[in-house]
Amino acid sequence: MCMLALLFPEVGEQDFTRECQVHGPQLTPSVFSPIDHQKLEREARICRLLKHPNIVRLHDSISEEGFHYLVFDLVTGGELFEDIVAREYYSEADASQCIQQILESVNHCHQSGIVHRDMKPENLLLASKLKGAAVKLADFGLAIEVQGDQQAWFGFAGTPGYLSPEVLRKDPYGKPVDMWACGVILYILLVGYPPFWDEDQHRLYQQIKAGAYDFPSPEWDTVTPEAKDLINKMLTINPAKRVTATDALKHPWICQRSTVASMMHRQETVECLRKFNARRKLKSPQLAGVHCCSLFVLVQQESSESANTTMEDEDVKARKQEIIKVTEQLIEAINNGDFEAYTKICDPGLTSFEPEALGNLVEGTDFHKFYFENALSRSKQGPVHTILLNPHVHLIGEDAACIAYIRLTQYMDASGMPRTMQSEETRIWHRRDAKWQNIHFHRSGSPTVPLNSLWSYVAGLVLL
């Protein structure tokens, strides 16, 4: 399957007979996989729902043998942030006008049941090079469809500096993630640098989760309180209290711009923004010289290895790590003798194969409850330490996964001697209502201590 993006100049509904321009790479069948095809169809389906002057419009999606065509608006004005640094005059009022158009596009997306999930400067384009050209939101490759104000875990997707706290916490999320990113964008529009910044991604994420930003002097001294108030409303950690796009458009700094927003030229902002743009391009060299229209080629954006963007392959890594983490939590519940925590992580219909069941398939948690009540709850002989070696995770669609690993358990036996036991385990996980539950496990091997030493036995027993 090969794919091209056909890009129309902005035309009226009756002008589709004019010749269009063709942009984007031709991809060989080995590159364009069935998964890529599914993503392309998803993006096309979402784009068909969106018809707004501040969103790049998909005019048509055409499939032929060996090719797939997407027909978009041709936008020639380049990135908004690049245009700003080329202007002779740029004020707070101009920033207000820019963010208003961005909010209009986001509001239309949200009213149409779409969450963009990748709001960032690279996806804010200008319709043309004419002064006052419309801002256009582009690239819906990571966008998802939601029902109303639905909140769920849709996977880890976005760009590091623009990710919201709830995404980083792997909490259920929805439309408010776009508003957080808009808050980051507005902050940059006003001073030319982001509210959260660190070369170390882990420290960056800690800043974001804590909402650790401020308005330092002297650059923020000349920004009006109303602008800061809107940023605060957008960068609210609790998504339930974060301002919506509809309400943000009603904010005085937006709807009363002529009397509220400052008209003073912000030369320092322009200079800082120029440096910020240079850093972005340095982080993403393969995108630096690309014509803006090429950004609409879905696979170019999703297959990018840019350090500047967290693509869905990183979502796969995050989901695999999530499976390892929940497995560790379950084993910790076993080591702590916490049957309540154990049952919260296990499906009520949990099935298991283990040597202690003498070759029988065990269903439910009653078989394991015996050990929690008669051994683990009274086990005070010493600590238990477990290590998972060589965990391998296989994702099965969006809501299922399998993990296989070697488990080493260290414990003190009844005589006070340290012991180590090893088992090979496989666990099947299924996600229901945004929570992972263990639905099956298999344990190989046999107890290496006498079964009449109940504590020793249980310490090595896999109870999943």
Is 315 a catalytic site residue?
no
- Give how far Cα 123 sits from Cα of 256, 296, 309, 430, Å: 27, 9, 12, 34
Q: What is the DSSP letter of 132?
A: T
Residue 430 has a CB neighbour count (10 Å cut-off) of 16
- The three-point CA angle 54-79-162 to 5° equals 80
Q: What is the DSSP letter of 160?
A: G
Distance, first Cα to last Cα, the chain: 43
- Give how far Cα 101 sits from Cα of 11, 223, 245, 372, Å: 20, 20, 11, 59
Catalytic-labelled residue, pool 94, 118, 178, 347: 118
- Give how far Cα 275 sits from Cα of 82, 290, 308, Å: 11, 19, 15
Contacts with 403 (C-beta within 8 Å, 6 or more apart), sequence order: 323, 324, 327, 391, 392, 393, 394, 426, 427, 429
Burial class (CB in 10 A: 0-12, 13-18, 19+), 277: middle
CB 280 within 8 A of CB 121: yes
Q: What is the DSSP letter of 141?
A: T
Catalytic residue numbers read 118
